Structure 1
Amino acid sequence: MAALGVMGALAFRLGRGKALASVAEGIKMHSRPQQYGWYSVVWMGLPALGVAVAAALLSVLGIIAPSRELVVITSLAVAAFGLGWGLRAIGPAVRARNALDTVIRMLLLGAALISIITTLAIVLSIIFEAMRFFREVSVWEFVTGTVWSPGDTFLESVGRGEDAGGAGSFFGSVPLFAGTFMVTGIAMATALPIGLLSAIFMSEYATPTQRGIAKPLLEILAGIPTVVYGFFAAITVSPLVVDIAAFFGLDASYSNILSPGIVMGIMIIPFISSLSDDVINSIPQSLREGAYALGTTHSETIKQVILPAALPGVISAFLLGVSRALGETMIVVMAAGMRPNLTWNPLEDMTTVTVNIVASLTGDQAFDSLMTLSAFALGLVLFTVTLLLNLLSTYLIRRFKQNYD
């Protein structure tokens, strides 16, 4: 790497020097001398980078594993050849500026393609493993089944199927998604009003001093590790929920789903508050002044002008919070347990999809067992649900933007 850096500096100086020499001789060059210097660097660096990438791909694919010394020597040799070729090509007819623009455009395109290819690889890996699961379990049973009990799959995977109790294995995902949507709904019912009202206060009512104190303190919540939230939910919030429920004559489990939902909502407050605050502050002042000129009060302006205009951003903040809640695991594990329970009562214990994915992928069962493969099936359905929510949010945002642009 150091050698390539030295060669790059040398290439820049030689390319720039040759261009300056041509200009001194009265030759009209197409581009600036610095651009010819970078032109030489590109001819030197890209072939060497190509050799390193090709060697890495060959090693990853298992075709051949070239030694490090061979890769370094080959890269330096190719870089030297590219440097010589680039210096030889420098002349009045070479459009160095256009070539550099093309290289930069291709690098930016490559960066964008990395994200796209990574997303496709994630999706395809989930789909392929999920298909192995659905060869053994009916899709209809998985999507509509109300009992999640992998049961004897572990004993069968280790060759001890005769020790199973005969209870059978059931892979109905409805209890898991019910717990996921239950905790997400509780979290958003907690986070949305508090976060939105906090954003309205900081953008419309708070003085600069109050805003300077409140906003950093509120955003500290975003930096607290989720395991700390889990401790808070299990040790503080759950007993409090049980005591309040007992006061009203209700029976609540210490592993209820309400506690992690509330704590998860507290965790999401900064996301909704910060995004909503930025959206409200970006609304043109002329809208407020026009409303005041018509005789509306401050609160009426917020309700009838500011919030409708900020609605697309608030929807984006809400969907970001939903995505954050759907993927949360630690708080639910520590405060709600891992029992797949299909119920409408938030005072009972439930579990979520992500918790079960972690439980399925961590353990002694074989990778090709149904219990392990069920994690990919759950991930595929969760991905589909999240995608549908994102499409819905995109539609709503575009619809409301048409009204208030």
Structure 2
Amino acid sequence: MSLPMIVLVVLALAAVGFLLGRSKALASANGDPRLLHSLPGYYGWNVALAVMLPAFFLLLAWLAVQPFVIHGQVSSMISQASVDESSLDLVMSDVRRVADGLDAAVAAGGLTAEQAGSIRTEFTDVRDRLGEVGVALGSDVTSETLRAAQRYRELSWTGSLMRAAAVIGLALVGLVFAWRRSGKDFRARNAVEAVVRWILITAASIAVLTTLGIVLSLIFNTVEFFRLYPAADFYFGLTWSPSFGGGSELGILPLIWATLYISLIALAVAVPVGLFAAIYLSEYATPTVRAVAKPMLEVLAGIPTIVYGLFALLTVGPMLVDVFGNDGLLGVNWMSGGTAVMTAGLVMGIMLIPFVSSLSDDIINAVPQAMRDGSLGLGATHSETVKQVIMPAALPGIVGAILLAASRAIGETMIVVLGAGAAAKLSLNPFEAMTTVTAKIVSQLTGDADFASPEALVAFSLGMTLFVVTLALNIFALYIVRKYREQYE
């Protein structure tokens, strides 16, 4: 039985259990819900949860364990004399590929399941039959690989059958057990709320453990990198020149400089435009204008960053060259190509406008109306109230929004990859091409890189540095926002 079919069967059993649990609880109270300890729906949900949770937990555990079990049994069939440990994974990938070909042959009807599954079938006959139905195994497939693939199919089929039986059987056991407890005196609400509480705790734990796993993976690979490359040369080096043949210079300062430079230009664009838009929408715009303008402004937040990158590469970059290039409108030679710090900074600033605008708008609207009324009652104009009362009160939250936007700008990848160029240099000219930390993380992990080399492991050190910087900005911003919120709560 396929995985989707198992899930549908369990969900159907849960729906049946809901109806049975609810009806039995009402029957035990002679149809009077007032005699029940909990509402009738809680009895139904108690049975449904008893069906779904153990079954799905077993299903997830089975999906995680079965591949390792099958891999261990099939890999033991491979001749260890001809295959070393490093190439065993490649052989197993061929085994899985051939097994998929056998499944395709069975599905195409050109080969019976007995022929595809029998180890006694001649290898040449099987391959010829597979070729007839358009399933290519390749000429380098050995008879040993074919036998391993046949064994792989058998174990996968047996495992799938046992998985379906175990999961559906456990769901039925849960249904019967919970249904028998569905009496009028059973505290169904307490049981359901306890289960929901543990579900919420599990969800929160998954989020925390995922973050911890990401941090630990970065730390372990960063430590391995610094074992191969001096930390002082990495953090204080002025040259970024990786070479997979050896002799690399991996100084991060040019990348940090370009990252901060582009982020500064982006904030110089996003903060004034976004803040002024927020002030207008929250204090001056009519309800009709606000209902139209705010959703249109926030449409920018839904545009994928790759689209912004193409906009920078195809539109903004050539436009800047037309103005600041050698034959441009100004007649200067500041910019020779479309990829530059200014290109990426302007487009990133456009991307951040709805981010700054939305957060600032919410913060300004959170200022108590009593402060506005008091200022207006003392004779101040609307503009004076905005400038001298509302903005100072909202300033801590606005600063927090700007810091969150800064951390978003520092971590951006696609815009700087397409708009800023690939040159790692220290320069004050915003019309020159430079590259950032995120762009180099992409380039160092792209291609056939040896993950044991410093040139590949440096990507994790770059990621760790970027993670620490953005984490510090986020913590500082959240601290300021939280302090602001506590001021008026």
TM-score (norm 2): 0.74
Q: Whole-Å Cα distance in 2 between the matches of residues 330 and 56 of structure 1?
A: 35
Alignment of 1:67-82 (within 5 A): 67-82=159-174
* In 2: Cα distance, 1:42 partner to 1:256 partner: 57
Note if 1:376 corresponds to 2:463. no
Mean CA deviation greater in 238-247 or 103-112: 238-247
AA of the residue aligned to 1:32: L
Task: Select the residue among 377, 382, 405 that pairs with 1:298.
Answer: 382
Match of 1:183 in 2: 262
Q: Does the CA contact (< 8 Å) of 2:404 and 2:473 recur in 1? A: no
Query: 1:352, 1:384 → 2: CA distance?
Result: 16
Partner SS state of residue 67, structure 1: helix
Question: Is the 2:401–2:477 Cα contact (8 Å) retained in structure 1?
Answer: no
**Matched residue type, 2:56:** L
Aligned to 2:242: 150
- Work out which of the residue numbers 170, 176, 182 in structure 1 matches 2:249: 170
- Look up the match of 2:143: none
1:61, distance to aligned residue in structure 2 (A): 5.6
Of the three residues 26, 33, 38, the one matched with 2:45 is: 38
Q: State the structure with more CA Rg.
A: 2
SS in 1 for 2:228: coil
Establish whether residue 57 from structure 1 lines up as the match of residue 64 from structure 2: yes
The one of the two structures with greater contact order (alpha-carbon pairs below 8 A, sep at least 6) is 1
- Evaluate the alpha carbon distance shift between residue 401 and residue 19 of structure 1 in structure 2; reply closer, same or farther with a 3 A threshold: closer
Distance 1:400 1:29, change over 3 A: closer
Following superposition, the deviation at residue 327 of structure 1 comes to 1.9
CA contact (8 A) 1:309 1:404 kept: no
- Does residue 1:215 correspond to 2:294, yes or no? yes
Please state how far the C-alpha of 1:184 moved relative to its aligned partner.
Answer: 0.4
Structure 2 counterparts to residues 246-325 of structure 1, below 5 A: 247=330, 251-254=334-337, 255-325=339-409
Structure 1 residue runs of 5 or longer lacking an equivalent are 157-167
Per-residue deviation, 1:92? 5.2
Query: 2:28: which partner in 1?
Result: 22
Q: Would the aligned equivalents of 1:16 and 1:33 in 2 still touch at CA under 8 Å? A: yes
CA distance in 1, matches of 2:460, 2:421: 21
Query: How many Å apart are 1:42 and its aligned residue?
Result: 2.5
Query: For the structure 1 residues 170 and 4, does the alpha-carbon distance in structure 2 shift closer, same or farther, using more than 3 Å as the test?
Result: same
| C-alpha contact 1:253 1:349 (8 A) present in aligned 2 | no
Q: Could you say what secondary structure the match of 1:123 adopts?
A: helix
Q: Which residue of 2 aligns with 1:162?
A: none
SS of 1:323's partner is: helix
SS in 1 for 2:216: helix
Bigger mean CA deviation after superposition, 44-53 or 222-231: 222-231
| Matches of 1:89 and 1:280, distance apart in 2 | 54
Structure 2 counterpart of 1:206: 285
The one-letter code sitting in structure 1 at the alignment partner of 2:186 is V
Contact 1:202 1:215 in 2 (8 A): yes
Report if aligned partners of 1:39, 1:99 keep a CA contact under 8 Å in 2: yes
Q: CA deviation at 1:356?
A: 0.4
Q: How big is the shift at 1:50?
A: 2.5
1:133: how far off? 1.0
User: Hey, what's the Cα distance between the residues in 2 that align with 1:281 and 1:121?
Assistant: 38
Tell me how far 1:249 sits from its aligned partner. Answer: 5.1
The separation in 2 between residues aligned to 1:373 and 1:401, in whole angstroms, is 42
Q: 1:222 to 1:28 in 2, by over 3 A?
A: closer
Distance 2:309 2:240 in 1: 24
Question: More displaced, 338-347 or 207-216?
Answer: 207-216
Output the CA distance in 2 between the equivalents of 1:16 and 1:402: 45
Indicate yes or no: 2:55 matched with 1:48: yes
Aligned pair count reads: 392
**SS of the residue 1:24 aligns to:** coil
1:228 matched residue in structure 2? 307
Q: CA deviation at 1:375?
A: 0.7
Report the Cα distance in structure 2 between the residues aligned to 1:83 and 1:216, rounded to whole angstroms.
47
**In the TM superposition, what is the alpha-carbon distance from 1:304 to its structure 2 partner?**
1.3
Is the deviation greater in 211-220 or in 45-54? 211-220
Structure 2 residues without counterparts, runs of 5 or longer? 1-6, 73-155
CA RMSD of aligned residues (A): 2.6
Q: Deviation at 1:250?
A: 6.1
Offset, 1:171: 1.0
